[in-house]
Amino acid sequence: MFRVGIDLGGTNIAVGVVDENNKMLAKHSVPPLAARPWQQVATDMGDAVASASAKAGLSMADCLQIGVGAPGTCNSRTGVVSHAYNLGWDQVPICQFLQDRFHLPVKLSNDANCAALGEAVAGAAMGYQDVVLITLGTGIGSGIIIDGKIYAGMHSAGAELGHTLLVLDGEACTCGRRGCWEAYASATALIRQTRQAQSAHPESILCQTPPEQVNGRTAFDAAKAGDQAALAVVHTYARYLAAGLTNVVNALAPEMILLGGGICNQGEYLLSLLRDYVEKNCFGQKEGAIPEIRVAQLGNDAGILGAAAL
Ligand SMILES: [Zn+2]
């Protein structure tokens, strides 16, 4: 028997066939071509499920269930994607649609939640029950696993840790509030902080990069070369990130926090700064419930494996 996971992204519909040990047997992906009626996208999703199963040499008769990870707000109880702006989806009953085609149970969750579950069943957090995944990208994505299951709250609208407060009346956030963690610790925020340092420190080697080419690596590269202004950017950014992680530790005391996204390529250089801050600042300090802080392992496969495990 096998399960199918669908990761519905803005640039890719990725489908994976997974065995009982959460091993990926086959994958198939197609572009979503978002500016279409949702029924067409959903039909393509179904076709991709059939293609992935055929690639694995399996018949849908041996499939136990299908899981869908979708962007935006996804109501796991009703199986409806409430809003997914980048797909132009509003109140889409995706689970019912796929159930009608395959006559199998179809589960739904948000893509960030699926990625967290994927890491917990088959990635860096395998064997852990209480795990939080934080993805540092344009914004901050987050998924919370408690007792091995996704926690998302009423209408599956919770676990939006990026939109918890770091600074009252602080920087504007995409959600309309000011001072969210995301506005200080996302990759977008790091790029803003790097550009501000360029303006303030014309002597810095940061200024060798044109402002429009600054990315999440620029400040780290200059800091490793010993540039003082860049070191200040990196250390301040690490404190913003770690302050939010400390809030997560104090609220949930997970066994493990995983970090995903391009900034995590900095590896131990960044992680050691974060661990140091969390140890000194969490409730109980060194005697507190300090989680392991590691980099996520599965990349894009996390969403597929998590969807299959819903
Ligand atoms: Zn926000």
Judge whether 123 lies within some domain: no
Judge whether 118 lies within some domain: no
Task: Assess whether 149 and 211 both reside in one domain.
Answer: yes
Ligand 1 geometric centre to CA of 209 (Å)? 29
Ligand 1 geometric centre to CA of 148 (Å)? 27
How far out from the chain centre does Cα 216 lie?
17
Ligand 1 geometric centre to CA of 21 (Å)? 37
Ligand 1 geometric centre to CA of 161 (Å)? 9
Task: Assess whether 152 and 248 both reside in one domain.
Answer: yes
Ligand 1 geometric centre to CA of 72 (Å)? 14
- Which range of residues forms the domain containing residue 141? 131-295
> What DSSP letter does each residue of 42-74 carry, written as one string?
HHHHHHHHHHHHHHTT--GGGEEEEEEEESSEE
Cβ distance 168 to 293 under 8 Å?
Answer: no
Judge whether 7 lies within some domain: yes
What is the reported pTM?
0.94
What is the token pair recorded at 177?
């509030």
Ligand 1 geometric centre to CA of 205 (Å)? 32
Choose the final residue of a domain: 104, 120, 142. 104
Judge whether 124 lies within some domain: no
Choose the final residue of a domain: 63, 86, 104. 104
Q: What is the DSSP letter of 290?
A: P
Judge whether 59 lies within some domain: yes
* pLDDT reported for residue 102: 97
Task: Assess whether 98 and 137 both reside in one domain.
Answer: no
What gap in Å lies between CA 70 and CA 83, rounded to an integer?
10
Our count of domains for the chain comes to 2
Task: Assess whether 152 and 62 both reside in one domain.
Answer: no
Task: Assess whether 241 and 139 both reside in one domain.
Answer: yes
Beta bridge partner(s), residue 36: none
What is the token pair recorded at 57?
């040499």
Task: Assess whether 196 and 275 both reside in one domain.
Answer: yes
Ligand 1 geometric centre to CA of 182 (Å)? 6
Ligand 1 geometric centre to CA of 174 (Å)? 6
Span between the terminal Cα atoms of the chain, in Å: 16
Cβ distance 82 to 72 under 8 Å?
Answer: yes
* pLDDT reported for residue 34: 67
Ligand 1 geometric centre to CA of 159 (Å)? 12
Task: Assess whether 229 and 288 both reside in one domain.
Answer: yes
Task: Assess whether 88 and 145 both reside in one domain.
Answer: no
Judge whether 111 lies within some domain: no
> Residue ranges of the chain with pLDDT lower than 70?
34
Task: Assess whether 248 and 162 both reside in one domain.
Answer: yes
Judge whether 120 lies within some domain: no
Ligand 1 geometric centre to CA of 163 (Å)? 4
The enclosing domain of 71 has a CATH number of 3.30.420.40
Judge whether 126 lies within some domain: no
Task: Assess whether 82 and 222 both reside in one domain.
Answer: no
Task: Assess whether 289 and 142 both reside in one domain.
Answer: yes
Ligand 1 geometric centre to CA of 109 (Å)? 21
Beta bridge partner(s), residue 66: 4, 106
Cβ distance 44 to 32 under 8 Å?
Answer: yes
Task: Assess whether 159 and 199 both reside in one domain.
Answer: yes
